[in-house]
Amino acid sequence: LLPFLLVWLSWPPPSSASIDYEVFFKAAANQYGFDWRLLAAQARQESGGNISAKSNQDARGLMQILPSTAREISKELGQPSYNLYNAWDSIRFGTYYDAKQRAYTRQWSKTYPDRAWYRDNLRLMLCAYNAGPHRIKQYGDCPPFKETQNYWRKIFTYWGQYRGVYG
């Protein structure tokens, strides 16, 4: 009964592709103060765990980072050489950008008791990652775009699945 329940609770099954890089997610999460399973969930939403993914907007790699954003991050990190199709570079740059958006969007997080505030800040961080930080400033919240609303909701769903499956 327990194995059936675990499968049912985690349906659809977590993409193993994004978990294949668990050691990188854990290292980046530790460096920037995130739950590694949240980062894996984000990679699943961004690229389906495909390191070779390239979007119509030219975003690349697991974390789907635009080349212009990568150039900015590389300067800020002092890492002039990088490859967005390299798992570590993609995860590190994506997590750094998450941390930057988490700090930026704090001012718009709703005032909730403890953990609810933390989750709202992560929601806004993900919205900024998807729609751009200027959209959070424009709306004072996550923009009402269907893509962005679905984006953070799917990541939270995947995150919950990963927490259930990977403890």
Question: Which H or E run includes 62?
Answer: none
Residue with tokens 């729609």: 131
Check if the beta carbon of residue 112 is closer than 8 Å to that of residue 121: no
Active site residues: 46
Residue 132, Ramachandran bin (φ over 0: left; ψ between -120 and 50: alpha; else beta): left
Q: How far apart are CA 160 and CA 10, in angstroms?
A: 8
The structure tokens 């212009």 sit at: 68
SS3 (DSSP) at 13? coil
Return the bridge partners of 60, or none. Answer: 54, 65
